Amino acid sequence: MYIYNGFVSSRKGNNARNHGFDVEDDVSGIHDVKLYTYRELKTATEDFSQHNKIGEGGFGSVHKGRLKDGKLAAIKVLSAESRQGVKEFLTEIEVISKIEHENLVKLYGCCVEGNHRILVYNYLENNSLAQTLLGGGHAYSSIQFSWQTRYKICVGVARGLAFLHEEVQPYIVHRDIKASNILLDRDLTPKISDFGLAKLIPSNMTHVSTRVAGTIGYLAPEYAIRGQLTRKADIYSFGVLLVEIVSGRCNTNTRLPAGEQYLLERTWHFYERKELIGLVDSSMNGDFDAEEACRFLKIGLLCTQDAPKLRPTMSTVVKMLTGEIEVYDSRITKPGLITDFMDLKVRGPQKTSKLHSSDSDNTTSSSYNLPSTSEKLDGSTMFSDSAAATMSTFTSPYDQSINLPKGIPVNGLVLISLRT
């Protein structure tokens, strides 16, 4: 059975009534997506058994299952209590059901039955980069991340993003490019996942103003400060990810000495000293193309430059990675850094109705990977929209997803600026 013409007949459950939204209205606009019954998915996962559970995120759990046609699937179950999660669920279907690319996860279908909101994806055997390469997972992974494998992953993610940014209309800004949202199939082909925070932007618009959502450490400073979203925000996030893949470490590690905690800052210092080779992951035991690895790190710096207009497009990034376009040192300027978040304060969602506009977004995102080694923020962070805000520091754990309401005064709790 398929959803056609944007409407699925579904009864409203108690939870839907309590939250004051109509399930039938919420699923309107969805079409050409295979619709599974809850019974089918319950059977596929052996009653959503614990031993089939392969991940858990901010909005529910993910189970491995075998569908009636024999295909293995990753079945992402949205928590019935989450209103924000329903919004993420619908956004994810709207975005990913319309597009297909080798480097994007494939949506098989969904379940919209009673209070059940479930996404069914192709199952990817090798989990996420956060689990296998970063965040402590590398030591326990059987995957050998050779330079050839890292090259393939970097180029694949870049091609997937270039497709979203330049080959579909309206173009798509993912907003949460990070290691835990890059999944790996059996052949270690990377797949960009979790489109719950994505924004579709018409080509005639230069940007959209929106509540800030994403993950600390990957957020482009100009987006974090002003809430103006462009493709350049994704490009910044990709630059951080690129440096992580080459170096084999996550972007923030507060257990390291003070001068080594923030990867992007450290990369700039190595670049200034012409010692980028010292940043390459030592686990490869020197078995890599030094010139290529340093070129990738320089591309990471180009992508994370302070001025968004200086960052290359993703199609240009692909050509730089593959050597079709030269990378010139003269074009590399200092990265935009938000490195200090002193006394980070977290609070629950605001009760003021003005804060929950139609443009509101989700606090965390959950692809079907195992949880990362970091914790998640489960509320909104106090934030200032002023570009004149002053500097503070990231003390938060790696891979914290956040959702920052627009226009809330700082009140001395979180102060942010660009370091130039």
Domain assignment present for 281: yes
Residue 397's nearest CA partner among 416, 417, 377, 418 is 377
Bind-site residues for ATP: 76
Domain assignment present for 8: no
Q: Domain boundary residue among 309, 344, 379?
A: 344
Q: Are residues 51 and 179 in the same domain?
A: no
> Which residues are within 8 A (CB) of 264 and not within 5 positions of it... i.e. 6 or more apart?
240, 243, 251, 304, 335, 337, 339
Q: Domain boundary residue among 344, 369, 398?
A: 344
- The C-alpha atoms of residue 360 and residue 366 are separated, in whole angstroms, by 17
CATH code for position 85: 3.30.200.20
**Residue 22 known to be catalytic:** no
List of long-range contacts for 319-325, beta carbons under 8 Å, 24+ apart: 320/295, 321/151, 321/154, 321/155, 321/158, 321/295, 321/296, 322/155, 323/292, 323/295
Residue 337's nearest CA partner among 244, 241, 268 is 268
Look at residue 292 and give its three-state secondary structure: helix
Look at residue 295 and give its three-state secondary structure: helix
- Which pTM value belongs to this model? 0.78
Domain assignment present for 201: yes
Q: Are residues 63 and 136 in the same domain?
A: no
Q: Are residues 207 and 339 in the same domain?
A: yes
Q: Are residues 104 and 143 in the same domain?
A: no
Bind-site residues: 76
Q: Which of 22, 26, 32, 176 is catalytic?
A: 176
Per-residue pLDDT of the chain (420 residues; tens, 9 = 90+): 433 333 333 334 444 444 434 444 555 556 678 899 999 999 999 999 999 998 886 678 899 999 999 999 999 998 766 655 677 788 888 888 889 999 999 999 999 888 888 999 999 999 899 989 986 555 556 788 999 999 999 999 999 999 999 999 899 999 999 999 999 999 999 999 998 889 888 777 766 777 788 888 999 999 998 888 999 999 999 999 999 999 999 998 888 888 889 999 999 999 999 999 999 999 999 999 999 999 999 999 999 999 999 999 999 999 999 999 999 999 999 999 875 443 333 333 333 333 233 333 333 334 544 333 333 332 223 233 333 332 222 223 334 555 554 433 322 223 333 333
- The C-alpha atoms of residue 137 and residue 102 are separated, in whole angstroms, by 25
Q: How far is CA 7 from the centre of its chain?
A: 29
Q: Are residues 74 and 149 in the same domain?
A: no
Look at residue 58 and give its three-state secondary structure: coil
Helices assigned H by DSSP within 45-126: 83-96
* Distances from the Cα of 202 to the Cα of 173, 208, 231, angstroms: 11, 10, 12
Q: Are residues 273 and 308 in the same domain?
A: yes
Instruction: Look at the alpha carbons of 399, 401, 406, 410 in this order and tell me if their dihedral is positive or negative.
Output: negative
Q: Are residues 107 and 131 in the same domain?
A: no
Q: Domain boundary residue among 317, 344, 371?
A: 344
Question: In DSSP terms, which residues pair with 190 in a beta bridge?
Answer: 184
Domain assignment present for 401: no
Tell me how many domains the chain contains.
2
Q: Are residues 75 and 205 in the same domain?
A: no
Q: Are residues 306 and 291 in the same domain?
A: yes
- For residue 353, the one-letter residue type is S
Domain assignment present for 358: no
Q: Are residues 161 and 51 in the same domain?
A: no
Q: Are residues 182 and 104 in the same domain?
A: no
Domain assignment present for 393: no
Range of the domain at 215: 127-344
Q: Which two tokens stand for residue 146?
A: 């050779």
